[in-house]
Amino acid sequence: SQTIHQWPATLVQPVGSPLSLECTVEGTSNPNLYWYRQAAGRGLQLLFYSVGIGQISSEVPQNLSASRPQDRQFILSSKKLLLSDSGFYLCAWSVLYGYTFGSGTRLTVV
């Protein structure tokens, strides 16, 4: 069966520090991968989208970047975090329609 792993679950980082969130998928090949951010009262915002290794589409200009070094690995990064980067980050995968989401990372930038 397909599973998705996302870590860490919670993270507290100082302003200006780097960030690396990792997401891996098991049990499927060539999935579409997504990073979403969820801010209180604002629903889910698509940050990045990938249809294959090395292929990244950015949805919103921001302080973050994404990479897909392997077929089932998706990484969200930042060189210097801002206070506004705080939020709940969700990774998801799909082969066709119908996402499967990871359990999320709660990032607090202090």
Partner 1 sequence: AQSVTQPDIHITVSEGASLELRCNYSYGATPYLFWYVQSPGQGLQLLLKYFSGDTLVQGIKGFEAEFKRSQSSFNLRKPSVHWSDAAEYFCAVARSGTYKYIFGTGTRLKVLA
Residues at the contact surface with partner 1, assessed by CB under 8 A: 6, 32, 34, 41-44, 46, 49, 59, 90, 92, 94, 96-104, 106
**Nearest-approach distance from CB 44 to partner 1, in angstroms:** 4
The residue among 83 and 96 lying less far from partner 1, judged by its C-beta, is: 96
**Nearest-approach distance from CB 102 to partner 1, in angstroms:** 5
In terms of phi and psi (left: phi > 0; alpha: psi -120 to 50; beta: otherwise), the region of 43 is left
Query: How many Cβ atoms sit within 10 Å of the Cβ of residue 97?
Result: 6
Rounded CA separation 75/62 (Å): 15
As beta bridge partners, residue 12 has: 108
**Nearest-approach distance from CB 97 to partner 1, in angstroms:** 6
**Nearest-approach distance from CB 66 to partner 1, in angstroms:** 14
Rounded CA separation 103/80 (Å): 24
The residue among 15 and 26 lying less far from partner 1, judged by its C-beta, is: 26
Buried b / exposed e along 66-75 (16+ C-beta atoms within 10 A): bbbeeebebb
